[in-house]
Amino acid sequence: MNSDVLYGQELLPQGIRSRLVDNNNGCTMHVLEAGFEQPDRPCVLLLHGFPECAFSWRKQIPFLAAAGYHVVAPDLRGYGRSSSAAVGYDDDLMPYSLINRVSDTVGLVKALGYDSIAAVIGHDYGSVVAAWCALLRPDVFQSVVLMSAAFPGAPALPKGTSASQPKGTLPLTGLPEALAALTKPRQHYRWYYSTREADADMWNCPQGVHDFLRAYFHFKSGDWPGNEPFPLASWAASEMARLPTYYVMEMGRNMAQTVASEMPTAIEITNCTWLTDKELAVYSGEYQRTGFQGGLQGYRIGTDSRFNGELKAFSDRTVDVPAMFISGARDWGTYQSPGALERMSEICTQYRGSHLIEAAGHWVQQERTEEVNALLAEFLSAAKGAPNLV
């Protein structure tokens, strides 16, 4: 094992190892894993979100390994220690498309020696990737758990429109202009994250990457008193403007400026036991080293109609493996895509329910570890592929 692969080594529980794996799809992926000592265990894959890395699963990896699984948490392409080249704004976006993310994930499964795995579990952007893995390759991913980002399904191809005038549909067209036209102009974070300036705004922010991330994590957590989410009626600008400014920003303020005003106090930081300053330093150390562009490429994919178009090929396709949704009751991410949470019971034909954990915000598996782990254990024991180990 190459020591320069490791991050957060002193903070990882015993039994977790770090290594590099060629994923058969042009990306050398850094993974954290446990439960690898015993052969023939069912495998569970954990996919992180933004701005995070595999370290965000540090509280689930040993728990699931103790339950009998081979648990693998990769740094996604463009994040952390996966691949070595720096990511630039002008790089080809194709490797970061959702279709290629599925290829990355299937390739990793194969590289690990499996034809199929018990579950793919994703949080935030990783939830999006996990959903597409389950939708496109149910033969490989036998169940799926989505966290903090409800899955709205593949983009629609409306029926019976041959006599209609072609028109764009929200959210890919019209929303940025409508938000900018409000009395108090706003900008949606996905479109901001798609700009050339976003990476430098955060990487070179006046407060430094560590304090930027501390404010960002706090602002979206259950610790911030303003997080009292509710369903939004539509993608209309007036509805979107009801979201907190970390989702729908004030026009003219970048993300580092937006979160700076919500920097927690020294006492609040000390009391944040779910993300200590030493743990946060693992994230900040990685992003200080790499910048944010590798993660931001995923947002650019989401606002580029070319890539939305290729996903329409799967319109009306359902997720046909056991599925579950977990989020924090104080997480606006549950509702940021209007109607997505409600549609999941239709899109997922073996839906095992939505679980909103009290007092938790966006970082649910870190904020409320015991509750999340209990839900995962119950789900996996009931789903296909549960271990029967002695």
pLDDT of residue 159: 87
Query: Which of 299, 328, 354 finishes a domain?
Result: 299
Residue 249 · residue 186 · CB < 8 Å: yes
Amino acid letter, 178: A
Tokens in use for 184? 């108090």
Residue 231 included in any domain: yes
pLDDT of residue 5: 54
Query: Which of 250, 272, 299 finishes a domain?
Result: 299
254 in the same domain as 224: yes
Which residue has tokens 């070179």?
204
What phi-psi label fits residue 174: left (phi over 0), alpha (psi between -120 and 50 degrees) or beta?
left
Using CA atoms, how far apart are residues 179 and 143, in angstroms rounded to an integer?
38
Residue 224 included in any domain: yes
pLDDT of residue 165: 64
The stretches in the chain having pLDDT less than 50 are 1-3, 388-390
Residue 326 · residue 364 · CB < 8 Å: yes
Burial 112-126 (b: 16+ CB within 10 A, else e): bebeebbbbbbbbbb
Residue 34 included in any domain: yes
Domain count, the chain: 2
The CATH number assigned to the domain holding 117 equals: 3.40.50.1820
Using CA atoms, how far apart are residues 68 and 388, in angstroms rounded to an integer?
8
180 in the same domain as 87: no
Domain containing 292 equals: 175-299
Residue 169 included in any domain: no
Residue 165 included in any domain: no
123 in the same domain as 18: yes
- Rounded to two decimals, what is the model's pTM? 0.95
Burial of residue 326, with CB atoms counted within 10 A of its CB: 0-12 exposed, 13-18 middle, 19 or more buried: buried
Residue 164 included in any domain: no
182 in the same domain as 85: no
285 in the same domain as 183: yes
151 in the same domain as 39: yes
CA angle (33 as vertex; 27, 38 as ends), nearest 5: 120
Residue 314 · residue 136 · CB < 8 Å: yes
Report the chain's terminal Cα–Cα distance, integer Å: 29
146 in the same domain as 232: no
Query: Which of 299, 333, 357 finishes a domain?
Result: 299
Residue 304 included in any domain: no
53 in the same domain as 151: yes
Residue 209 included in any domain: yes
367 in the same domain as 291: no
7 in the same domain as 148: yes
121 in the same domain as 246: no
11 in the same domain as 121: yes
